[in-house]
Structure 1
Amino acid sequence: MAENVVLTGTVLPNSEVERGIVEDAGANLTIINVSSKEELIESAANPVGIMTIETKIDESVMDAFPNLEFVSVHGIGVDMVDVDAATDRGIPVFNTPHYCLEEVATHTLSLILACERRICQYNSDVKSGGWEYDSAGTVTRLSTKTVGVVGLGDIGLEVIKRLHGFDVDIVGYDPYVSAEDMSQHGVEKTDFASLCENSDIITVHTPLTEATRNLLDASAFETMGSGVTLVNAARGGIIDQAALYEAVENGTVAYAGLDVLESEPPEDERLIEFDNVVVTPHAAWYSADALAELQRTAGENVAEFLSGTVPEYVVNRSALE
């Protein structure tokens, strides 16, 4: 009897790509569109593997399925998986770390430009009958700005590569990247407080972990000067949304470009009602090309593991030891 792999919490138009790859590797793929881990536990039939897009996979899920051998994430971030619990149980966790680097980087630049050049405000004003170049307030040259990049992983570096074309000064905060490595990318390494204090534009590209949850909180906003542009295309939980609301209201954050929120879709809409807050629906990753690569890579991770090969993209390699 073929082994059973479950794909859960799918928001994709279909998962035939993954199904073909997994079934070619000799397993069955069962697609269960559930909204919680509890529903997953009730619905899944003794899987050897779980492919998740957004369903939380913690120790209760792992313990419910004694034959579970792997967890595969459709995405770069694995914050929906308790990786420590998986490692303790010898369960490798796979991800798809490169599928949307170009998309998120260009989307980030789009949000920065939309904020700095007041694109959305101008658009709304013109459609309401206006035609004034200064209707959205004072605009200054991008080349006069210092951009603070929080997180210099693959996406952060892609953003930095594109920022250099705008002749901005760039400072970076990442405790895992040395000053020497940053300098090779034209970035001055700084601590987080200094980045907040000295940046005109702050863009967030760190993973969501216990260390980075609410990294930008009320105390962080207090260190910023007035009129900062803040962009987040990483994870909503990295920013304390209540604190951001206060920062926008009092002018510390003059413009915010957000592709991610604490809850998605938003439960509290006060923040997104500000005219100077530009919001997109967690779409920075998306292009037809990225979607195809995401599904293919996720399927190939599973197929390689089922065939006895260690996949290239294993988050917790110590689980295989």
Structure 2
Amino acid sequence: MTAAATPAVVYTDPAWGAPTVEEAVYGDAVRARIGPFRGPAALHEAVAGAAALIVYRCPVTPELLDAAGPQLRVVARQGVGTDNLNAALLGERGIVGFNVPDYCVDEVAAHTLAMVLAWERRLVPQHTGLTGGRFDIHHGGAPRRLGTRTAGIIGLGRIGRAVAARLRLFYQRVLAADPFVHADQMLGYGVRKTELPELLAESDVVLLHCPLDPDTRGLIDADALGRMRPDALLVNTARAGW
């Protein structure tokens, strides 16, 4: 296959440093153009003639697709969220679009647990006190005993289940609210199914792991916050908002 006939793949905005893995996978099969590109003009010049685009945070817009040209066949989203993929626009243009549903499941779950434990064990105020010259084990308040506490997860998808498996090692109970997961399935994950109002009222820590869509936008509003315990922790490592 000649260089001119080799399909071009443009990686608009790599998430992590040098994309050495991608380059090794592509080899000579494709002509890879790898960003980031400085400004819209440079981006549009780079995508011209591409057969495929890989986007991270780059929004898929009519201008981007026009710059790529009619030979564009597929747009892949590096990650779980699809809020910048613009599926409706891709459908109108006859272009395939997809995400990576199992992207960084363990990484997000581990980060979520790190945030929870850092707060529960008062690590940040302890660190702040220590660096400020306060050598006081009581600075920042006493850590809570997790073995008597309840954690609640909103959304028991891949990441929610991974977080649940980790929380069960620390908390006495793990609750979950998800209309798409049956109670029997939740029991298999060591989690008790509950409705959102009960979860908010009973949980010492509430974790968001549901997608942001028209049904979930505004899910955690003033009323929901008012249902939570006064000393509860709310952690949002879901996509795009709440």
TM-score interval, smaller chain: 0.7 to 0.9
Mapping of residues 17-56 of structure 1, within 5 Å: 17-24=21-28, 26-34=29-37, 40-41=43-44, 43-56=46-59
Please report the TM-score for the alignment, with normalisation by the length of structure 2. 0.86
Please report the TM-score for the alignment, with normalisation by the length of structure 1. 0.66
Distance in 2 of aligned mates of 1:178 and 1:168:
21
Residue 15 of structure 1 corresponds to 19
Residue 238 of structure 1 corresponds to 241
2:204 is aligned with 1:218: no
Distance in 1 of aligned mates of 2:70 and 2:112:
41
2:155 is aligned with 1:155: no
- Structure 2's unaligned 5+ residue stretches are none
Distance verdict in 2 for CA 1:187–1:13, change over 3 Å: same
Checking the alignment, whether the CA contact within 8 Å between 1:37 and 1:57 is kept in structure 2 is no
Distance in 2 of aligned mates of 1:116 and 1:35:
42
Distance verdict in 2 for CA 1:86–1:6, change over 3 Å: same
Distance verdict in 2 for CA 1:122–1:34, change over 3 Å: same
Distance verdict in 2 for CA 1:123–1:185, change over 3 Å: same
1:84-106, CA deviations, whole angstroms, 9 ceiling, x for partnerless residues? 33244443223333342222212
Which of 111, 119, 122 is 1:118 aligned to? 122
Distance in 1 of aligned mates of 2:40 and 2:85:
11
Checking the alignment, whether the CA contact within 8 Å between 1:35 and 1:55 is kept in structure 2 is no
Residue 57 of structure 1 corresponds to 60
Distance in 2 of aligned mates of 1:61 and 1:37:
9
Counterpart of 2:199, as a letter, is L
More displaced 10-residue stretch of structure 1: 154-163 or 133-142: 133-142
Distance verdict in 2 for CA 1:36–1:174, change over 3 Å: farther
Checking the alignment, whether the CA contact within 8 Å between 2:150 and 2:171 is kept in structure 1 is no
Counterpart of 1:19, as a letter, is E
1:102-152, CA deviations, whole angstroms, 9 ceiling, x for partnerless residues? 222122111111111101111111222223232212432112211111111
Mapping of residues 128-167 of structure 1, within 5 Å: 128-167=132-171
Checking the alignment, whether the CA contact within 8 Å between 1:152 and 1:206 is kept in structure 2 is yes
- Structure 1's unaligned 5+ residue stretches are 240-321
Checking the alignment, whether the CA contact within 8 Å between 2:10 and 2:46 is kept in structure 1 is no
SS in 2 for 1:238: coil
Larger radius of gyration: 2
RMSD: 2.3
2:210 is aligned with 1:206: yes
